[in-house]
Structure 1
Amino acid sequence: MTVRFSILAAGAICAAAASAHAQSGFDDVVQAEVLQGWDLPDGRRVAALRLTLAPGWKTYWRAPGDAGIPPHFDWGRARNLRDVSVTWPTPNVYVEYGLRSIGYTGQVVIPVYVTPARAGKPVRLRSTMSLGVCAEVCLPHQIEFDTLLDAPDASPTPAIVAALADVPYSASEAGVSAATCTLRPTDRGMQIEARVTLPDTGGREVAVIEPGVPGVWVSEAKTTRRGGTVTAVSEMVHQKGGAFGVDRSNVRITILGGHYAVDIKGCTGS
């Protein structure tokens, strides 16, 4: 079962947007639906959002890169919702005009694990997803959805199963034997150097560092591999300026390789 909902375009934000384009021409760049999913034995439900983008358009991963627009979910209007966890399939890396962005083209299914506040009762999944979509122009969008998850079903949904199979490997699954982070103060903030020891993930490897600190901007990581170790270096600056702290246990390092991706949660001091 799927439930369709509306897409609200908020207007162009890229300077590259040409005045000859009418806003009505962007109404159908992304279509969306909620996949009801199935119930788990522990009381949670696996549902998903399926986004279908028009040819030539892309949207962004949770860490979109310097040229991307980060997605955001507001679950404040949901009912009977204790917790929700979003699971992102492995994204693609794009380089345009010298800038790197990370996201998806075509179609992407984004699984969500939903925990009800009252077990066994329907969840009203009422929320807003803010996201960006880009082609020659970039548009911020809002997806408003209001779905009642009330159809008991233990049968896995094939599209969601496929999306879950496409998530990055965990550190243990990928054979990561060490992940260290070195932090150094800079004039504007802090530099982080992550070193991850793991087997080659294939092709050109791109590392993404997420510090786990709200309001901190992170530069595109300079990624190199020597033997069995990937080194990634990023600059971090707080959006409001000033000092900030980083808890290494909250640092998240994702390595996107040509064959597979790896999600490393936490690092230790060097």
Structure 2
Amino acid sequence: MRSILIVLSGLLGFAAPAQAGETPWQAHLDMLQTRVVTTSADMTDADGMPLLAWEAKLAPGWKTYWRSPGEAGLPVRLSQNGTDIDILFPVPERFELFGLETYGYSHAVLLPFRPLSVSDGGVSVSASFMVCKDICVPFDATYDVPASALGADFSPHDIRVATWMEKVPARAGDGGAGLAIDSVRVTGPVGRQHVVVDAHADAMLTAPDMLAEVNDMVHFGAPKVKITGDGRSARFVLAAMTGKKPLDLRGEQIRLTFIDGQGHAIERILDLPEK
């Protein structure tokens, strides 16, 4: 992230025992509150792993960040015993912070995840995250979920977590709306390259969007979008910003998130052509 004002003050949150269905709220100054909520056995996967969600309620004007925050901010990270947990990130909002384009969440968010393992004592999850408004502040917190709170017959959070799960881009399939990425290519000289993506959907596209991720050294702004054909296809042109030492995107791996503007999205990891 670029140089911006960050408050560093050992802002740690400590775990308290979970109640039925959730850990207690932890207050992080007056900027946000966080907790972990659990779901019922109905949402447990085939391996017996429960579905949980990190929940944040943000004070007005404060924002927290997606896995690729853009030109400022740091992503939410969850871990167990120092190993990162795969967070199922919902489609983020676009923000402008200090004139920089960023991606994240305002007001409130639930980030679903499955723990890496469950012990007889339950699950202990560590979190690191940043919030920004006029300044940016990083936090760390720990949440202890006892085994008795996992996989219960009922959870008051099932519907809320399921609602946020619907906002998570599909990693396989068509997102329930015939979404597909048809092609991707790189144009232009190194330092002034663009990624051009062609995609389509079964229904008419309404305000479609494309998010692109390569690595922490490359950022992409909002794409130029041209809807083509019968309104079900679109071309996205994304300008790459690679800093003082330009990176040749050809041959790199890219993660694309295609959003149709009607509540559906897919995510694909592709190799950019070398020529």
Give the 3 Å change call, closer, same or farther, for CA 196–3 of structure 1 in structure 2.
Answer: same
- Match of residue 236, structure 2, among 224, 232, 254: 232
Q: Displacement, 1:65?
A: 4.1
| Partner residue, 1:29 | 31
Alignment partner of 1:45 is 2:50: yes
Distance 1:177 1:258, change over 3 A: closer
Provide the rounded CA distance (Å) in 2 between the counterparts of 1:96 and 1:5: 27
Structure 1, unaligned runs of 5 or more: 9-26
Q: Which residue of 2 aligns with 1:174?
A: 177
Change over 3 Å in CA distance of 1:31–1:100 after alignment to 2: same
The equivalences for 1:68-79 within 5 A come to 68-73=72-77, 75=79, 78-79=80-81
Which residue identity is paired with 2:191?
R
Q: 1:160: which partner in 2?
A: 161
Superposition pairs of residues 110-149 of structure 1, within 5 angstroms: 110-116=111-117, 121-122=120-121, 124-134=123-133, 137-149=134-146
Counterpart for residue 224 of structure 2: 222
* Separation of aligned partners in 1, 2:66 and 2:83: 24
1:17 matched to which residue of 2? none
**CA–CA separation in structure 1 for the residues paired with 2:152 and 2:189:** 53
1:46 CA drift (Å)? 1.1
CA contact (8 A) 2:70 2:219 kept: no
User: CA offsets per residue over residues 84-103 of structure 1, 9 Å max, x none?
Assistant: 22012233344688765433
What is the match of residue 6 of structure 2?
Answer: none
Could you tell me which residue of structure 1 aligns to residue 256 of structure 2? 253
The 3 A distance-change label for structure 1 pair 266 and 122 is same
- In the alignment, the residues of structure 2 paired with residue 165 and residue 219 of structure 1 have an alpha-carbon distance, to the nearest angstrom, of 25
Cα separation, 2, equivalents of 1:142 and 1:203? 37
Does the 8 A contact of 1:88 with 1:167 survive in 2?
yes
Give distance in 2, aligned partners of 1:141 and 1:90. Answer: 22
Unaligned runs of 5+ in 2: 1-20
Output one character per residue of 1:23-60: Cα deviation in whole Å (capped at 9) or x when no partner: xxxx2121111113354331322111110012333333
- Quick one: distance in 1 between partners of 2:205 and 2:99? 23
RMSD over aligned CA atoms reads 3.4
Structure 1 residue 209 displacement after superposition: 1.1
The 3 A distance-change label for structure 1 pair 162 and 65 is same
* Distance in 2 (alpha carbons) for counterparts of 1:257 and 1:57: 27
Distance 2:120 2:209 in 1: 43
Indicate the larger mover: 222-231 or 198-207. 198-207
* Greater share of strand: 1
Partners in 1 of 2:25 and 2:235 — Cα distance? Answer: 43
When residues 224 and 102 of structure 1 are mapped into structure 2, their CA distance, relative to the original with a 3 A threshold, is farther
* Separation of aligned partners in 2, 1:94 and 1:200: 28
d(CA) in 1 for partners of 2:101, 2:246:
27
2:65 matched to 1:60? Answer: yes
**Alpha-carbon distance between aligned partners in 2 of 1:104 and 1:89, rounded to the nearest angstrom:** 9
1:22 — aligned with what?
A: none
Count of aligned positions: 242
| Amino acid aligned to 2:92 | P
Cα distance change, pair 73–242 in 1 and its aligned pair in 2 (3 A):
same
Return the alpha-carbon distance in structure 2 between the equivalents of residues 92 and 262 of structure 1: 13
* Cα distance change on mapping 1:205 and 1:101 into 2, 3 Å: farther
